[in-house]
Structure 1
Amino acid sequence: MLVGVMSTYIRPPKLIRITALISKAYGIDIIFVRPPDVNIEKETLTGKMLINNKWVTQEREIPDFIDITPYCFKKKYKPVTDYLKEKTFLSDNRDNILTKEALHEYLREDPKYAHLVLPTHNVSTYDDILNYLDQYSKVVLKPSDGIQGKRIYIVEKTEDKYKVGHNTLEKNMSEDEFFNLFIEKIENQRYLVQKYIVSRTLQGDPFDCRIHVEKNGSGKWQSAKNYIRIGIGQKVISNVNQGGGIADPIPFLKANYGGKWKEIDEKLKKLAVTLPYKIEELRGTHIMSLGIDIGIGRDGELYLFEVNDGPAFKSLIGEIAYLRSNYYKYIQRNIIGINNSHDVSMKNDADKAPGVFKKSLKQIKNIMITFKSKYKRK
């Protein structure tokens, strides 16, 4: 079976190499392509395949399944993605995309998830912000289509001034200064105003828990990893790209929440295998990968910050590569219906999880160590 992996990267990233190596053991070949690599007239694509441990350019027919990233659905690639929607099965066809506000509204109506939703409102006027400040005294301003935590402000009303946090900076503003910020940065930019919760370490640094989930070899959602993102020295969010760090949940929760750590950890684990099904149900389409960002209040309650359908992967390449290669196998057997003798002889590793999952990660780490030493110069 041939699986397409479509991205906007110029060269195949490490994740694709590791996934290709694992997939080969399952009789699955991967071809890495970009949207311009698709020839609609010839019904082929030209990309890179891992042959004898080297990326080799190959032209192939359109695969029956393409693992595609959200970034490929830009306007300039629309003719290609529209064609692929009709021609093949995509890991995400981008139908029924939910805005942050719409997702919160839907979840608020569901008793199972209503407790996760923070009061949120679409910013149409300056008064929308002032009204929320009157209600909650401290709010978050964020773009409804934000990526990687950019353009976020925390605003607190203090007597006749506004304390505004942005990235690593914090500034006191007068009424006029704050109004000018609204005109220049917020107005007509599709912003949301949201009640602020204290999701901070004992040292005062902002943090959240990223729950990265993938479909596994049984076609079910599984947590690739839950990890805490800490915005060391930051005023607004736990953005690792701005100098933050990551931590494992258990030692972090023990250090910051004492006796509540186990209950919080269990709630995070449960959310990882329940909320993705709700997201998929709301969108009414197939999804393969999600990043769920959760805030944790001082009382240990969980709050949903946002859901990202193109989550970062650099800190958990091995885990994702293992789950995706097994999911490709599931697609091959259950959706596309390919079932040759090689397929029948192989058992689905995911059925033996979590034992095999942990064991395989050790093997993947060894592959990655070899990869790092051998391909350092590349």
Structure 2
Amino acid sequence: MTLIGMLHHRAEPEKVKKAYAYAVVAKAEGVDFFYFTPGKVDIKNEKILGKYYENGKWIEKEYPFPDAIYNASFPLTDKAELIVDYLSERIPFTSHSIGNKSDVQNRIKKGKDFKHYLIPTVQLKKEKDLLDMIELHEQVIIKPVSGSRGSGILFIEKENANTFIINDSGKTTICSKQDLIDLVLLKIEEEEYIIQKFISSKIKSGQVLDFRLHVQKNGDGEWVTTSIYPRIGALGSITSNLGNGGFTAFPDPFLQIEFDNEWFDVKKTLEYFSVSFATHFDSLYDEFYLDELGIDVGMDENQRIWLFEVNWRPGIPVIFNGELDVAKNTIKYAEFLANNNKNLPS
């Protein structure tokens, strides 16, 4: 029987909500499963003091090194990182970082097949980058290269030669050209930013919209769509992120309301894009295989798809009760890796 370990930085699996789902799914799928932290790894004897779930509680037990590891979080200390590196050189890990926003953009551009879905983007390094993009597109957004959950995003619109509208987390201000330059230069001193053309992806009420395409590898090592759902921004917001006031809805009724008789075609287009993009994107990484992605896309007034962002380790809204679906795909994929042992870093 395949032995899979779930690696996490928290000592108590009771505090990791998804640990229970993975333990339940593993048992149902006939896979031995345990939870562990880097501090419980005995490298010398190749043993791990882990925990398994039974009869409503987590029980400690010594295990040999597993056949595959679901690495569910980052190591928090240098010592933990050394242990994780040691394990990853010997045991297949399910999850690998895709890099930051710029890395992702560059890979897609080089891959060519999907580069026409990319939003026009440049690295925001100086005043000229800002002014050139505004002159070209009139409406732009700037966002941190390493940002997440819609944080740090500014919408900028040119009203005339010396007047600009800025929307920051739903708060709108009007400023002069010099004030805008000063604000942006201050931001790029603190961290890296990119600047993009603003894509108008909205629902009928005018609120911003994107779709989260959640894809995973299954037990055959093939990409499948776990879920597709809309994310709608709060009134006045420029982002649809659920952590910043956005909300979601069940896909089919939402599509029927927003796209009328074309709703089913839109649904199938999104389903096809999710798997075809994931398959291509996966092929752009020579050093390892990917296991799970959250692909965020917008759709303009012509129903053209635009690729907003690609996320590693995406979450899933509680409304869809998708935890077990996610866990099942992860467990089966880990079993696939264990059986094929082909995901070791080169």
In the alignment of these two chains, the number of paired residues is 334
Separation in 2, partners of 1:256, 1:249: 10
Pick from 323, 334, 341 the counterpart of residue 335 of structure 1.
Answer: 341
For residues 64-213 of structure 1, what are the structure 2 equivalents within 5 Å? 64-69=67-72, 71-72=74-75, 77-94=80-97, 97-110=98-111, 112-159=113-160, 160-187=162-189, 189-213=191-215
Specify whether residues 234 and 6 from structure 1 end up closer, same or farther in structure 2 by C-alpha distance, changes over 3 A only: farther
Separation in 1, partners of 2:154, 2:8: 31
Separation in 2, partners of 1:165, 1:220: 41
SS at match of 2:284: helix
SS at match of 1:71: coil
Residue 199 of structure 1 contacts residue 296 of structure 1 at CA under 8 Å; is this kept in 2? yes
Amino acid at match of 1:209: F
SS at match of 1:261: helix
Please report the TM-score for the alignment, with normalisation by the length of structure 2: 0.88
Residue 225 of structure 1 contacts residue 319 of structure 1 at CA under 8 Å; is this kept in 2? no
Aligned to 2:8: 7
Among the aligned pairs, what percent are the same residue? 28
For residues 232-311 of structure 1, what are the structure 2 equivalents within 5 Å? 232-284=234-286, 285-311=288-314
Question: Cα RMSD between the aligned structures?
Answer: 2.3
Aligned to 1:340: none
Separation in 1, partners of 2:194, 2:79: 27
Aligned to 2:36: 33
SS at match of 2:20: helix
- Structure with higher helix content: 1
Specify whether residues 301 and 226 from structure 1 end up closer, same or farther in structure 2 by C-alpha distance, changes over 3 A only: same
Tell which deviates more after alignment, 75-84 or 303-312: 75-84
Residue 210 of structure 2 contacts residue 240 of structure 2 at CA under 8 Å; is this kept in 1? yes
**Offset at 1:179?**
2.3
Separation in 1, partners of 2:171, 2:49: 46
**Offset at 1:302?**
0.6
The higher relative CO (CA closer than 8 Å, separation ≥ 6) is in 2
For residues 43-54 of structure 1, what are the structure 2 equivalents within 5 Å? 43-54=46-57
Aligned to 1:363: none
Please report the TM-score for the alignment, with normalisation by the length of structure 1: 0.81
Residue 232 of structure 1 contacts residue 245 of structure 1 at CA under 8 Å; is this kept in 2? yes
**Offset at 1:92?**
2.7
Per-residue CA deviations over 1:117-143 (Å, capped at 9, x if unaligned) read: 111101110210110000000111111
SS at match of 1:251: helix
Residue 238 of structure 1 contacts residue 244 of structure 1 at CA under 8 Å; is this kept in 2? yes
Separation in 2, partners of 1:314, 1:256: 21
Residue 167 of structure 1 contacts residue 235 of structure 1 at CA under 8 Å; is this kept in 2? yes
Separation in 2, partners of 1:272, 1:215: 12
Tell which deviates more after alignment, 26-35 or 158-167: 26-35
**Offset at 1:70?**
5.5
Amino acid at match of 2:269: K
**Offset at 1:279?**
1.7
Amino acid at match of 1:71: F
Structure 1 unaligned regions, length at least 5: 337-378
Separation in 2, partners of 1:135, 1:317: 43
Per-residue CA deviations over 1:212-265 (Å, capped at 9, x if unaligned) read: 111112221111100111122352211111222112333222322334323322
Per-residue CA deviations over 1:81-134 (Å, capped at 9, x if unaligned) read: 22112121111344xx44423433443455531331111101110210110000
SS at match of 1:273: helix
Structure 2 unaligned regions, length at least 5: none
Separation in 2, partners of 1:79, 1:28: 28
**Offset at 1:183?**
2.9
Per-residue CA deviations over 1:300-329 (Å, capped at 9, x if unaligned) read: 111111111111135321221222233234
Q: Runs in 1 of length 4+ with deviation above 4 angstroms?
A: 73-76
